[in-house]
Chains A and B, each alone.
Chain A
Amino acid sequence: MIRINCPYCGEREHSEFTYGEDATRATPENDAPLEQWNKFVYERDNPAGEHIEYWHHAFGCRAWLKVQRNTLTHDISWVGLPHENPEAAS
């Protein structure tokens, strides 16, 4: 069972959250070449291991959170706000 420690609400269970997406993708500039936009829209790193991603506390405080989760074990090693980053990743 995935449990996420929301910085506002404390530890809550999976069913209160909805998954967002990979939080490491940076939106290209508007005038960036099409190839770059294609990579951004359609290609994914899809790592087996640590993954930094957004979750929405939809049935709680409704905040967007940034979460570091292992895609092999579902273990969550870090939770922060969207502008923050885990130390290991920065």
Chain B
Amino acid sequence: MGQYNALNIAWNALRGHKHWQRAWRDPEPKSNYDVIIIGGGGHGLATAYYLAKNHGITNVAILEKGWIGGGNVGRNTTIVRSNYLLDGNSPFYEHGMNLWRDMAQDLNYNVMFSPRGVMNIAHSKSQYDTFARRANTMRLNGIQAELLSREEVLEREPIIDGSSDTRFPLWGGILQPDAGNARHDAVAWGYARAADQLGVDIIQNCEVIDFIKQGERIIGVKTSRGDIHAEKVGMAVAGSSSRLADKLGLRLPIESHVLQAFVTEPYKPLINGVVTFGAGHFYVSQSDKGGVVFGGDIDGYNTYAQRGNLPVFEDVIAGGLTMMPCLSRLKLLRNWGGVMDMSMDGSPIIDVGPIDGLYLNTGWCYGGFKATPASGYCFAHTIANNEAHELNKAYTLDRFAKGYAIDEKGMGPYPKAH
């Protein structure tokens, strides 16, 4: 299939770009694999890639019911950051940042990782104090963080309303300078191509209908393209976790909610980094194509419909216009919704079991995109070694029963509030 490099591009350009090979094969499913990963989203693809690369397990199938890049990996706002507070989360996400930095080289695919900085703005002295605490915690955990004055915030993003007569006057901000964005589709395609080159079978249009059990052990899956057996079955099916677990009689600490996102028509450079509003829920960045990409709260009721409703739509836009009034002049191009696995503490689950032969990867709430490399890295380790990596040992399924919930927001078991 060959490497992507300048020479190759020039050679193919001379031949009219008619001889590029497909980026990954389209194999027929075999009847037997060492490992099956259900779900060909970012996390599933990354898991297969790291299984092959770090653990030498290449007899792996990824079963995707739709097509690669058609699920949540293509429906997010592409933000990558690690500005977390709690011990269970910080090292995991910071390891992810390290993987993001080298990803394009590692995968030989331009994922357009752009560390343009993630800035959260504060609107009061007390909010600024909590940001100072967060910045200190981040620094103690080896994560970059800077506190910004009001003037420094406006210097970075001049279009923020810095006037004193706005509803929530600007006070200051916190910046993670090495966080930013990546091109979401490229992340999916890059992992797919790299995993395929290492021998992983990516099987699209292959829906898992049921599990095959021998006694109490899972030994494979029934799919729309026939039965497939495997020693180990990993689930990375954000948005469908409860539905799939239900086939095993498992009830998960998960509720499905819809999160809406929005993009405007392409516009000249307007927003330099990622910015979040401090007096509501609104986060925004500008894509390399110029579209202003933003989102806010989840809709707040259980749903599997990949579309949301107007009250949240209005709320998100209102937050955005309060922070950056000039956005009102832009035309909205598209609005879409993705189904999130909202967990009971706002943190994910990467764990062995609870049934022999099964491995769980779920509960990413609406922070799954940034976790893609770290999740794949840790899930591959968990599957290969039958035990959690140091980085995901807090993400167990039984942490709720044991009282070790990792609740960044302190909301308790109310998924709509995380």
Contact = CB atoms under 8 A, between A and B. Distances in A.
A71 B311 CA distance: 18
Contacts of A74: 303, 305, 309
Given A19-B300, A51-B302, A71-B305, A42 B310 contact: no
Contacts, number: 68
A41 B414 CA distance: 9
B309 A35 contact: no
Given A14-B311, A48-B243, A42 B301 contact: no
B416 A46 contact: no
A48 B252 contact: no
Nearest to B240: A48
**What class of interface size applies to chain B in its complex with A?**
20 to 34
A15 B311 contact: yes
B68 interface: no
B242 interface: yes
Interface residues of A, number: 27
Interface in A3-53: 14-15, 18-19, 21-22, 34-35, 38-39, 41-48, 51, 53
Contacts of B413: 41-42
A73 interface: yes
B113 to A, nearest CB: 34
A39 B253 CA distance: 9
Given A14-B309, A14-B310, A71-B256, A42 B401 contact: yes
Nearest to A75: B305
A45 B305 CA distance: 17
B302 A42 contact: no
B406 interface: no
B20 interface: no
Nearest to A45: B251
A89 interface: no
Contact of A71 (B251, B302, B401): B302
A18 B256 CA distance: 17
Nearest to B399: A42
B255 A46 contact: yes
Interface of B: 242-243, 251-256, 300-305, 309-311, 314, 344, 400-401, 413-416
